[in-house]
Amino acid sequence: MGSFLDDGVNDVLCGCLTVGFAGTFLAFYVVILLVLKFRRDKFNAPIYEQMFNMGIVDCIQLFLHFLGGICTLAQFDMPPDVNKILGGFANAAWFAWIIFSFSVAFNRFIAFCYRKQYNVFYSRRLLRSQIGVCWLVMAIMLAIYLSPYCSIRYYRYNFSWRYDHTTPGEPVIANVEFIYVSTILCFSGICYLCVFIKMVSMREKSITLNGRRHEVRVLIQVWLQNL
């Protein structure tokens, strides 16, 4: 075990860690998705459908990180076209994960702060529309990454999927990604902050959370999924 470039970095160890962590989390995630899929009698609330779709894009990212780790261990560079396609899926899934994470955060915000309006916000039609928008974001970004304008590729000596700096649109798309991720995560944080304040105010007013044990449990599940 050592460095392929003699740069002091233990490439084999890094590859093993990438494969180990990504493979382990992917296996657990697949089990969770199967439970959500086939136990609809228990997990039929709108939030679980959002979490299921969010889990799919998570699995896409984990699988591609796992594959990248394999390439590092095997000292194998993917064919350019394959690298570009897989990189497109990797970062497009990341874009989708960000908007899905906001959608579940907003769900918890409505469930705790505007409980009476929950069924209005999460009717079957609106729920499908929200999920559709998230997948549309992924489709748009995938189209961009598959174009000659911008590319994401796996660089095995850096152990990561990165922008191809030789493409003309890389600076623009990279900046768009930074602004997009920062903004959406801020909105998600605001939603969770409002939920926390609501829970604290309920306790201070001696309002029991027993009636909302399910919502609290789902909130914890969402936080664990985000981690």
Q: Model confidence over 178-205: pLDDT tens digits? A: 999 999 999 999 999 998 888 887 765 5
Residue with token string 């490439």: 11
Q: What is the per-residue pLDDT across 204-213, written as a single tens digit (0 to 9) for each?
A: 555 555 555 5
Cβ 156 vs Cβ 71: under 8 Å? yes
Please say if the pLDDT value at position 89 is more than 80. Answer: yes
Please say if the pLDDT value at position 121 is more than 50. Answer: yes
Query: How many angstroms separate the CA atoms of 90 and 83, rounded?
Result: 10
pTM: 0.85
Query: How many angstroms separate the CA atoms of 190 and 152, rounded?
Result: 31
pLDDT at res. 5: 46
- Ordered by start, the domain boundaries in the chain are 11-226
- Token pair recorded at residue 113: 């702060």
Percent of the chain with pLDDT over 70: 84
Reduce the secondary structure of 44-108 to three states and give it as a string.
Answer: CCHHHHHHHHHHHHHHHHHHHHHHHHHHHHHCCCCCHHHHHHHHHHHHHHHHHHHHHHHHHHHHH
The DSSP letter of residue 167 is S
Dihedral of the CA atoms 95, 55, 193, 183 (nearest 10)? Answer: 0
Distances (CA, A) of 170 to 77, 182, 199, 223: 21, 18, 43, 32
Q: What is the mean pLDDT of residues 38-60?
A: 88
Average pLDDT value for the chain: 86
Cβ 158 vs Cβ 164: under 8 Å? no
Could you tell me where the DSSP H helices lie in 114-169?
118-121, 124-146
pLDDT at res. 43: 78
Q: What is the per-residue pLDDT across 132-177, written as a single tens digit (0 to 9) for each?
A: 999 999 999 999 999 999 999 999 888 889 999 999 999 999 999 9
Query: How many angstroms separate the CA atoms of 225 and 100, rounded?
Result: 12
For residue 91, give the amino acid letter.
N
Q: What is the mean pLDDT of residues 41-58?
A: 88
- Cβ neighbours for 170, distance < 8 A, ≥ 6 positions apart: 150, 151, 163, 164
pLDDT at res. 220: 62
**Fold exhibited by the domain 11-226:** Rhopdopsin 7-helix transmembrane proteins (1.20.1070)
